[in-house]
Structure 1
């Protein structure tokens, strides 16, 4: 770990420990992160010399010149009397929501504080200001913020990180997909923008940004990253996270599975971990461009992703096992995917890497074809699930576990024919095997392919926590329920009476 990383981790720990102050004021873990980010964002804007974004103006009367609103910066909170800080803070939240410029107004939309004691807010402000910000390089302040989000996701009491994507998995996916400055990069289930931030990191380390023209810099900042997030708190965090990493806007607040999703521009690279489960209320998505409507959210997101790729565009998407074997509409969607895209790689992920331990997941890597038929000739499956450690607090998931996969994947992010020809078939005893499109078709388009004997499976089943086994059973049952819903829909039955 570098010195900078050590300093960053130290500040993250100190920030997290401040939650004890808020707990005394009756603030929950989930509320704590939101509350802290409102304040932390103001402080970080000061540290990164971006406070010009926080200047507020209002026009008292129509046609009258705008007047600047004073008292809108971190220093104003620090200069205020301790007893007055809470009222000033409440006023700031309202004014940013009403008069903030662009992204800042979006960040503070509909915000309010749950802090009730002036002394709590005052102490929190003073403790944040005392932290050794000078020990962290300015370009790493965004990483510090992201570290706080990860800490919250790993806090089981909060429940906020049920399907938080581990950073090491995101970094591995980005590494093999190799974003370029020419890419239009999208995450239709952006969350707090983890995939987009990782792609930004990759690009900044691979390119000399000082050599870019002003036009190129502007295009990068405003025209490279796009996404959508349904949960307003997560959307707020995504905007903050991106702005602190030098990228503005791009992530819209809305439902990708509704007509809003059609507003996302066609992309050359899509990276995503869509939410698991069925659509709220069991209803079908309101998108009119889905050929195969279904209540299964992952199958809907998968359709959005391969339909939203430009010809030659590439994607990597995290999906649960049921997407690989669903025998109803899932079969049609997988067939459509393999017709329109070259589904060249499936990575079977270890269990236990998400908060919901029993959920079994995969990463599907595919490239949009130049035609809508016969794009997939073979699918390579890399099994990183069988005979690997049970990850958790004792055994941490690290980047080293993905090293062999990254090497086997190859250097071509689009996995063209020359690249696939160079891949090594490891046979019955290895982790990487090739399966023909015809063979997959003969087994009903089922991509849930295994061949390795998992010697750890029995032990894991014996020692698994009951809650983990229950979660796994729920995922399997959701797939079965989706099949039953499809049958009822085909029979013309009214679904509302069954959902009641």
Structure 2
């Protein structure tokens, strides 16, 4: 084992091996390849711990397919290599893991193996290079708490490298945001915490870390690790990443469902799947659209083609009485009209929207330049007043970027203001201000308050301009869809 896992070059070493393989193309395939191998390695190490604690433990994976029996390179000299290894993985290992027997009584820590392998692939074609990747992974001992903690930094690097995530409006949420949101929704032991589009489970990990600091007994720790978090993710690669992430965090039963939260399930609407939560933390996909069959799951006045809008509606339905929530939404929702206005009406009239944090451009660099916001609300009473706070970039920094990302220091002013709220101005404009619900309603339910000054000169790159135009086009499309829906509704009524 290299000191501190050789954190600076671990991912590069693996990527350089994979780049030599003709079967692997692009970051997404490299990460999927690395993650399924990493999952099996981490799971195998965890199983050794479970076997040590419980001599009666039986793995769901047949013995010949457990990592230590086919991938312990450098330990045994008779291990598979070359074409023999590739053929074993393609023709024996994957079919076996994809068809593991599962019953309703199967513990989640076992059934997760079959679930994660349903839609992943072995892209590598060169068995000798697969051998080299396995050899590199075997430098890690996930039964060693120090090594596992250090490897968390490597895993962060893997997630950052998932450049293709932005293609579908799904962006890796910076850890400074997931941590801030988890730390400011009043998490307490016993809370049920959910993310209905959990991606790689970043919010769930941040929530667990907050709760683990409160744990005083083994019973507390067991509850946090096994009965606190709940996630849903519809896409295969983020689902695999989420399950691996939670196993690396020591979660025995990664409670992540592989499905679309917005879709019907067993002939029920999403609203009838009463997985109610005390706390919901989310960064739902935005910029994307949903097909008509998904939109039809929602009430007509709250229906939208915009994915983020539908998730906000779903969050409101799934939050318990007295529950708390924090969600990242694009600017389009704040100033949007049509059904977006109806969604905001519901939020203000049935929930307590107590804080809106305006985030600066580039917070999600390099994935998108679209400006975003964090809505903090709870299900205690209708909104009476809402604080707005604008996070500005540091002096001399026009916008955050891939080479100059936001850091925890970037939220230092927000942290201080959160505990000592008062109106603030900057350059003659509101930076923080309290608005009453009546003022917001009189303004057409627009939440576009304490925003950023419009620059006199457009300094965006061509890619950023294209992103912004696409967002504007989707907003216009959503408004047109809402108008056509209203026309159809009127025509249908006239025809009756």
Q: What band does the TM-score fall into relative to the shorter chain?
A: 0.7 to 0.9
Report if the CA contact (8 A) 1:107-1:236 is conserved: yes
Report if the CA contact (8 A) 1:193-1:241 is conserved: yes
Distance (whole Å) between structure 2 residues aligned to residue 17 and residue 132 of structure 1: 22
Structure-2 residue corresponding to 1:448: 448
Report if the CA contact (8 A) 1:184-1:269 is conserved: yes
Report if the CA contact (8 A) 2:168-2:285 is conserved: no
2:225 matched to 1:221? Answer: yes
Structure-2 residue corresponding to 1:273: 283
Alignment of 1:43-122 (within 5 A): 43-48=41-46, 50=48, 56=59, 68-78=62-72, 79=76, 80-83=79-82, 84-90=84-90, 91-99=92-100, 101-122=110-131
Q: Secondary structure at the match of 2:387?
A: strand
Larger mean CA deviation between 12-21 and 156-165 belongs to 156-165
Distance (whole Å) between structure 1 residues aligned to residue 27 and residue 207 of structure 2: 29
Alignment of 1:335-350 (within 5 A): 335-350=345-360
Report if the CA contact (8 A) 1:279-1:297 is conserved: yes
Q: What is the TM-score when the length of structure 2 is the normalising length?
A: 0.83
Displacement after TM superposition at 1:275 (Å): 0.5
Structure-1 residue corresponding to 2:107: none
Structure-1 residue corresponding to 2:174: 166
Report if the CA contact (8 A) 2:349-2:383 is conserved: yes
Q: Which runs of 5+ in 2 are unaligned?
A: 52-56, 102-109, 491-496
Structure-2 residue corresponding to 1:11: 10
Distance (whole Å) between structure 2 residues aligned to residue 18 and residue 148 of structure 1: 17
Q: CA RMSD in A?
A: 3.1
Report if the CA contact (8 A) 1:226-1:264 is conserved: no
Structure-1 residue corresponding to 2:435: 435
Structure-1 residue corresponding to 2:408: 399
Size of the aligned set, in residue pairs, is: 457
Displacement after TM superposition at 1:237 (Å): 1.7
Report if the CA contact (8 A) 1:257-1:286 is conserved: no
Larger mean CA deviation between 394-403 and 120-129 belongs to 120-129
2:208 matched to 1:195? Answer: no
Distance (whole Å) between structure 2 residues aligned to residue 426 and residue 449 of structure 1: 13
Displacement after TM superposition at 1:72 (Å): 1.7
Distance (whole Å) between structure 2 residues aligned to residue 398 and residue 28 of structure 1: 28
Distance (whole Å) between structure 1 residues aligned to residue 327 and residue 14 of structure 2: 32
Check 1:37–1:135 CA distance in 2 against 1; reply closer, same or farther (3 A cut). same
2:324 matched to 1:325? Answer: no
Q: Which runs of 5+ in 1 are unaligned?
A: 59-67, 411-421, 495-500
Displacement after TM superposition at 1:437 (Å): 1.2
Check 1:409–1:481 CA distance in 2 against 1; reply closer, same or farther (3 A cut). same
Displacement after TM superposition at 1:41 (Å): 1.7
2:205 matched to 1:207? Answer: no
Structure-1 residue corresponding to 2:264: 259
Report if the CA contact (8 A) 1:94-1:111 is conserved: no
Report if the CA contact (8 A) 1:259-1:286 is conserved: no
Report if the CA contact (8 A) 2:388-2:432 is conserved: yes
Distance (whole Å) between structure 2 residues aligned to residue 72 and residue 47 of structure 1: 10
Check 1:203–1:471 CA distance in 2 against 1; reply closer, same or farther (3 A cut). same
Structure-1 residue corresponding to 2:461: 465
Q: Secondary structure at the match of 1:111?
A: coil
Report if the CA contact (8 A) 1:187-1:270 is conserved: yes
Distance (whole Å) between structure 1 residues aligned to residue 312 and residue 222 of structure 2: 31
Distance (whole Å) between structure 2 residues aligned to residue 185 and residue 134 of structure 1: 27
Larger mean CA deviation between 260-269 and 348-357 belongs to 260-269
Q: Secondary structure at the match of 1:424?
A: coil
Distance (whole Å) between structure 1 residues aligned to residue 387 and residue 12 of structure 2: 41
In the TM superposition, what whole-angstrom CA distance separates every residue of 1:59-98 from its partner, at most 9, and x where no partner exists? xxxxxxxxx5434223422342313322232322221221
Residue number among 373, 379, 383 corresponding to 2:386 in the alignment: 379
In the TM superposition, what whole-angstrom CA distance separates every residue of 1:382-429 from its partner, at most 9, and x where no partner exists? 11147763111342210111111122122xxxxxxxxxxx62122455
Q: Secondary structure at the match of 1:137?
A: helix
Structure-1 residue corresponding to 2:133: 124
Distance (whole Å) between structure 1 residues aligned to residue 344 and residue 275 of structure 2: 23
Displacement after TM superposition at 1:245 (Å): 1.3
Report if the CA contact (8 A) 1:290-1:303 is conserved: no
Distance (whole Å) between structure 2 residues aligned to residue 350 and residue 158 of structure 1: 18
Larger mean CA deviation between 276-285 and 177-186 belongs to 276-285
Q: What is the TM-score when the length of structure 1 is the normalising length?
A: 0.82
Report if the CA contact (8 A) 1:345-1:365 is conserved: yes
Alignment of 1:229-240 (within 5 A): 229-240=233-244
